[in-house]
Amino acid sequence: MKRREFLKTAGIGAAATAVAAPAIAQSSPVLRWRIAASWPKSLDTLYGGVETFTKYVAEATDNKFQIQGFAAGEIVPGLQVLDAASNGTVEMAHTATYYYFGKDPTWALFCAVPFSLNARQMNAWFYDGDGLKLMNEFTAKHNLVAMVAGNTNCQMGGWYRKEIKTPADFNGLKMRIGGWAGKTLQKLGLVPQQIAGGDIYPALEKGTLDACEWVGPYDDEKLGFYKVAKYYYYPGWWEGGPALHILTNKGKWDSLSKNYQAVLQAAAAYSNLEMMARYDARNPVALKRLVANGTQLRPFTQEIMEACLKASDQVNAETSATNPAYKKVLANLEDFRNNEYLWWQVAEYTFDSFMIRHRSKT
């Protein structure tokens, strides 16, 4: 190679290197974000989802992308984290979107509404159905991007000072109940109260509440409800598989490189799986401890379940008549649910029912 040609070629190579190096560096910048949660740190399953998410984001990026977690009340109250992420006070929120049904009831559909999907079916809807697509069409109007990041699995039906034997027993009852379920139980005369997790016990203890629901045995034991309410009902028909989400400020999300976006999505997905596993593993032993401490387990009667389903159908019809977004998402969700339960009836339910009957004989 002639000297002039060599220098020309070398110059091109050096220039390419000079251009490429900054481009690579720019794809993995050092970032410091904040995520505000709706949960206290004492609830290690729920707030643990935040800790798992932030841990894996940091480790996957060699600590270049660090997200600091904040519990409810540390930056904003637990029920205001969605607004904080939307307006840029923080970059992200970890929450249950049914808390925000007052803004638009469509929010509830992406978390849990009465007689909807169980946890695995919710994941199927989000990951392989239209769930995340529909959700992000909706959240974009609120300057947010959504990722599934947790599920508590089917919840319990709450703690009551008195037995609930008929639908009429809900009449006049003051109950802390999250999300859209309160709207359904209002049809039966219940007075719903939406209170953050850390504030429920004192209200129940003082008699401000007659009943409450939170999640299930493991979390409920930590919150101490069994000390002030005796009767523990099941199932939580209003939360068959409540999904939790990480909501990211859309401008911040759009500013990320594709590899950082992929890291966030992978970390959120692992957090989702881990939370479900933790509840499945921890609820049985917690339930045993609660019963040993005097908790009275009670199933909702068939009459109550039928009355609540009827009330839920009324609420859905009334809301769909005036809210096009709710109607669109609900129709998609119900079609998916009907197909899922066709499959569940064939395999999952049949297998589980056999194993439960077998367990009772051993």
CA distance 261 to 258: 5
pLDDT at 30: 98
Query: Is 2 or 92 the better-scoring residue by pLDDT?
Result: 92
Query: What is the arithmetic mean of pLDDT over 321-338?
Result: 98
Residue 229 pLDDT more than 50?
yes
Tally of domains in the chain:
1
- Neighbour count for residue 47 (Cβ, 10 Å): 20
Give me 139's structure tokens.
Answer: 């959240």
Q: What is the per-residue pLDDT across 4-39, written as a single tens digit (0 to 9) for each?
A: 554 454 444 444 444 444 444 456 899 999 999 999
pLDDT at 360: 67
CA distance 106 to 272: 22
Instruction: Name the residue type at position 233.
Output: Y
Q: Is residue 264 part of a domain?
A: yes
Q: Is residue 331 part of a domain?
A: no
pLDDT at 197: 77
| Global confidence as pTM | 0.90
Question: What is the percentage of the chain residues whose pLDDT exceeds 90?
Answer: 89
pLDDT at 362: 57
CA angle 114/119/122 to nearest 5° reads 80
pLDDT at 6: 41
Q: Is residue 335 part of a domain?
A: no
What are the backbone dihedrals phi and psi of residue 181, each rounded to the nearest 5 degrees, phi first? -60, -35
Instruction: Name the residue type at position 294.
Output: G
Q: What is the per-residue pLDDT across 179-206, written as a single tens digit (0 to 9) for each?
A: 799 999 999 999 999 887 778 999 999 9
pLDDT at 23: 44
Instruction: Name the residue type at position 144.
Output: L
Q: What is the DSSP letter of 227?
A: G
Q: List all residues 6 or more positions away from 280 whose beta carbon is below 8 Å from its beta carbon.
A: 153
CA distance 272 to 4: 60
Residue 233: name the closest of 325, 147, 311, 308 by CA: 308
Q: Domain containing 85: what range?
A: 29-153+241-281
In Å, how far from its chain's centre is CA 124?
15
Q: What is the per-residue pLDDT across 110-137, written as a single tens digit (0 to 9) for each?
A: 999 999 999 999 999 999 999 999 999 9
pLDDT at 17: 45
Average model confidence (pLDDT) across the chain = 93
Q: What is the DSSP letter of 348?
A: I
- Maximum average pLDDT range among 27-31, 145-149, 176-180: 145-149
CA distance 328 to 131: 11
Give me 20's structure tokens.
Answer: 């490429």
CA distance 188 to 172: 9
Give me 47's structure tokens.
Answer: 């707030």
pLDDT at 15: 45
Q: Is residue 260 part of a domain?
A: yes
Q: What is the DSSP letter of 346?
A: I
pLDDT at 18: 45
Q: What is the DSSP letter of 178?
A: -
Question: Helix 119-128 crosses helix 131-139 at what angle (to 10 degrees)?
Answer: 70
Give just the sign of the alpha carbon dihedral 345, 216, 248, 266.
Answer: negative
The CATH code of the domain that includes 78 is 3.40.190.170
Give me 19's structure tokens.
Answer: 């251009």
Query: What is the arithmetic mean of pLDDT over 305-324?
Result: 98
CA distance 269 to 148: 7
Adjacent-strand bridge partners of 110? none
pLDDT at 27: 62
Cβ-contact 212, 226 below 8 angstroms: no
